[in-house]
Structure 1
Amino acid sequence: MSGLIRPMGGEVSLWMDASPEEVWALVSDVTRIGEFSPETFEAQWTRGSTGPEVGASFKGHVKRNGVGPTYWTPCQVTACVPGEVFEFAVGSDAMTVNNWGYRLQAQNGGTLVTEYFRLEPALYLRAYWFVMGFLRGRTNEKGMRTTLERMKAVVEG
């Protein structure tokens, strides 16, 4: 891969002294994201959804970069395997902008938790990533690290 081409996403991993099932219960409860994320300060299930399952809908209340603008964003669960993975698409029914998720792997009596994001390969998003990818990627990685550290404090507390 060329040094000029950056992957349109990123990930951060952190080991937690908790079982994959304990961590999964936390990452898949979108109503708790406000406790952990520096950007998404609340979320709620929508469209009749009441919990994590593929196809479930929710919306997240985001304060971009922790300072604004503030907006609601629709999301839909795209992968949901207890103890292993929780992933959701961000965007409208007609268009996904990006995907966020958590992969869980039992390791050393605890769980290696990886939070990740990836943008969709649409042309306008590739252009955005080419121009702003380094900055946005760095912001997202810092935010993911903060989120995981806050989750770790809860599951280990």
Structure 2
Amino acid sequence: MTVEVSVRIAAPPGLVYSLVADLSRMHEWSPETTEVRWLDGATGPVVGARFRGSNRNGRRAWSTTCTILALDPPREIAWRVSAYGLRVSRWSYRVEPGDDGGTVLTESTDDERTSLLRLAAPAATGVSDRGEHNRRTMTETLERIRAAAEAGR
């Protein structure tokens, strides 16, 4: 399952990329992420760097280990999410120049869970329809990024 959401932003691509590539700010954008903490001495995104992503949905909280897979400033950043050593998903942000001098920002995720993880996930996260949940939270995330970029923050 792949979910992809895009938004037009009235701000230059370089600014938009700087916001999404600063993963330590993800808790400002995502309604589910509460913290991103770099691991193994990493201080920012480079291919192969790992970070812990902490998340919350209502009373349920969980964390995952993520690895940067692609970094192509100012066009793309992508990472793989894993839990208990198993692949969960691949996330990415693509930044493209818009026709009007602004930016088109696309967030996408590919579900890579095994059937066992798919069965266990609703109890752990409180989400029964991960595709629809991701579409809703991604839309909210992109709107928060749009507002910050257009305000120059």
TM-score (norm 1): 0.83
Cα offset, 1:72, TM superposition: 1.9
Distance 1:111 1:71, change over 3 A: same
SS at match of 2:14: helix
Residue 76 of structure 2 aligns with an amino acid whose one-letter code is V
Look up the match of 1:116. 108
Matched, 1:156 2:147: no
Distance 1:93 1:125, change over 3 A: closer
Asked if structure 2 preserves the Cα contact closer than 8 Å seen for 1:45 and 1:58, the reply is yes
Asked if structure 1 preserves the Cα contact closer than 8 Å seen for 2:87 and 2:113, the reply is no
Distance 1:13 1:88 in 2: 18
Matched, 1:139 2:133: yes
Asked if structure 1 preserves the Cα contact closer than 8 Å seen for 2:7 and 2:106, the reply is yes
Distance 1:93 1:135, change over 3 A: closer
Cα offset, 1:116, TM superposition: 0.6
Asked if structure 2 preserves the Cα contact closer than 8 Å seen for 1:18 and 1:155, the reply is yes
Look up the match of 1:96. 87
* Matched residues, number: 145
Distance 1:94 1:41, change over 3 A: closer
My pick for the range that moved more, 107-116 or 94-103, is: 94-103
Cα offset, 1:126, TM superposition: 7.2
Residue 89 of structure 1 aligns with an amino acid whose one-letter code is R
Matched, 1:17 2:7: no
Distance 1:134 1:73, change over 3 A: closer
Look up the match of 1:73. 64
Distance 1:128 1:19 in 2: 41
In structure 2, runs of 5+ residues without a counterpart are 122-126
Residue 44 of structure 1 aligns with an amino acid whose one-letter code is R
Distance 2:84 2:48 in 1: 11
Q: Per-residue CA shift, 1:99-131, capped at 9, x if unaligned?
A: 1110111112011000010012645467789xx
Residue 52 of structure 2 aligns with an amino acid whose one-letter code is K
Matched, 1:86 2:84: no
Distance 1:37 1:107 in 2: 23
Distance 1:35 1:127 in 2: 30
Residue 98 of structure 2 aligns with an amino acid whose one-letter code is Q
